[in-house]
Structure 1
Amino acid sequence: MIDEHRQDLAAEYALDALDPESARAFEAMLANDAELKALADDLRETAAALALDAPAHLPPPELRERILSRIRAEAEAGAPAAPTATAVAPSTEAPVPSGGGRNLLPWALAAGFAITTAALWMERGSLQQDRTALLQEARELRNRDFLAKVKIATLSAQVDAYSKATAVIVWDAEKQHGVVKLNNVPPAGAGKDYQLWVIDPKYPAPVNGGLVPVNAEGIARVSFSPDQPISKADKFAISLEPAGGVPKATGPIVLLGGN
């Protein structure tokens, strides 16, 4: 059984919220504790699943035109000045085309290709810089605020048959949305389904979080949003209910935790 202190460490490790020295110490613990490592892996995966629900950052639509305009301006500023016209004596020989006139079209095509390629390269570089900056900003925000906004709960077996099961829930109170991940859970059985409940002190009964389908390998990963607004997710519970679920918990609680 993993004690609460190590559960907390695993949660902070999953969110990259440990300082480097603490992270190294925790990784040393993981090397000698397969159960703790499995929990840490589940926490990372579940937290990542919740993070993927965040809206993607899209570059402003004017970015490409801004880059192209800048490149055009730089290309015009660097173009050679047109030669000054001078009077020349007429010649009886057939005129020989100058290299400039003959090569104007290929040069223009090459220049256009170069500008377009440069624009795409600069746009890609700019987007990459934006992405890097956003990732860094997101990491800093996560390290500073994520633990305050997001709750990670590990559920413990309430029935002997579930002693080898692991259950992790990541709950975002601001978004009223969460992800539950189960491992090594026995089949629900014929005519039965697992159902998630959120225990909020302001409600007299647990709030329905929806069904948690478990596959043949005993694994489940489900996103959920409770039926009612949650002020404080004090605990989470998973019960065994009639197939299709019920509006109020009636079956045995098999997994419980959250504090």
Structure 2
Amino acid sequence: MSLKHDRLDELLALEATQGLAPADAAELDALLAQFPDEDPDGLELAAAAIHLSLIGPREPLPADLAERLELTAVAMPSVPVRLAKPRPSRAWVAWSGWAVAASLACVLAFALWPKKEPTLAELRDRLRPQAVAFAAADKPGLSGEVLWSTAKQEGYLELKGLPPLDPSKEQYQLWIVDPTKKQPVDGGVFDVRPDGTALVRVRAPIRVGEANAFAVTKEVAGGVVVSDGPHLLVLKPKSG
């Protein structure tokens, strides 16, 4: 690397961090004319980004947002900026670099800020208009309802009155009764809260053609492929 190029780098660094006297600014313009491929604003933009990261008290970003911001920044292509001649004043270049960096940070933060996930109750209520409701026959202190959509192959089971189990040993398991299948379809295992209630999402491992009932059994932890246990609860389509 030539001495002139070293001097150019030195002046660019001074411009980005301290500013230049008129004589140094004139020398920098002359050297930039000799090295037209040199990016005149790279160091200023880097200094602006560093400045933005250090100013003022900061609230820590959530870990997942910080990781996604970092990955997005790495993935963005580097586009060299070439200014038309004559170059703008040093003050304008520094200000515009800071503005670009600040705008980019705001856009990324807005786009990547985690959105609130809907609750199971909200998802169930969204499905309700296009779902079929199944309910259990009346039993003292025990009730249940399933909302099931064949089109979406998705449903929600709500129960009240089941005693809690030790999930390391036993779990409840839901079964989907489809007359086109030889065996009931596994609807998944679930646990109940200490108060005996549960709201769980139902997704079948294979497509259900026609659900005409649901059943709940008590099985070993992790569930079984075929149940031999008695049905604690049978839920059939609601009438009306």
**The structure with more helix, counted as a fraction of residues:** 1
Q: Max radius of gyration: which structure?
A: 2
Q: TM-score, normalised by structure 2?
A: 0.45
Q: TM-score, normalised by structure 1?
A: 0.42
